[in-house]
Amino acid sequence: MKKLTLILMASMATSLCFAQKLTMDKVPAAAANAFKLKFPNGSQPGWSKEEKDFEVEFFNGKKRQSALFDNSGKWLETETEIKYNTVPMKVQNAFQKEFEGYQLQEVFEVEKPENIINYELIAFKGTKNYELVYSTKGELLKKEEGQD
């Protein structure tokens, strides 16, 4: 448990290096308005800049979510933190086969325009950690190695 806590803290610190936190006066009005329209029950929004886009982390009821909008307010994706046992069996089987012995840090359902759903798993084993993205069919779409 102590190791997991340290990894979570390191992960959060790393994400802070890449994401620039923003005050509301730095968020384009189009993105802020699009967030309010798409997530009318979204609370405690915290905005950051992700390369050229704008990410908002928030609570939607009891769900922890983040959404990505471009400068014009176009919605690009929503990530919802979920439990691993809710991930499709094809994804679970693919992960367990290729990453045997890895522990999960976080699991997200990723919704994109046109009803595309993917699953993002953050997994680690020793000093190796990966961001993995799977299709609903269990196909590995992305495998990005994290920093130690």
Bigger pLDDT: 94 vs 7: 94
Cα–Cα distance list, 113 to 10, 67, 69, 75, 132 (Å): 31, 12, 12, 8, 20
Q: How far apart are CA 78 and CA 51, in angstroms?
A: 17
Q: Is the pLDDT of residue 13 over 60?
A: no
What is the band of 25 on the pLDDT scale with cuts at 50, 70, 90?
confident
What spatial distance separates the first Cα and last Cα of the chain, rounded to whole Å?
A: 18
Q: The tokens 């699953």 sit on which residue?
A: 119
Q: Radius of gyration over alpha carbons of the chain, in Å?
A: 16
pLDDT at 18: 52
Instruction: Give all domains of the chain, ordered by start, each with its CATH number.
Output: 1-75 (3.10.450.360), 82-148 (3.10.450.360)
Region 133-138: mean pLDDT is 98
3-state helix, strand, coil in the chain (%, to 5): 30, 45, 25
The torsion angle over the Cα atoms of residues 37, 39, 42 and 45, rounded to 10 degrees, is -70
CA distance linking residue 66 with residue 33, whole number of Å: 15
Identify the residue with better confidence: 17 or 118. 118
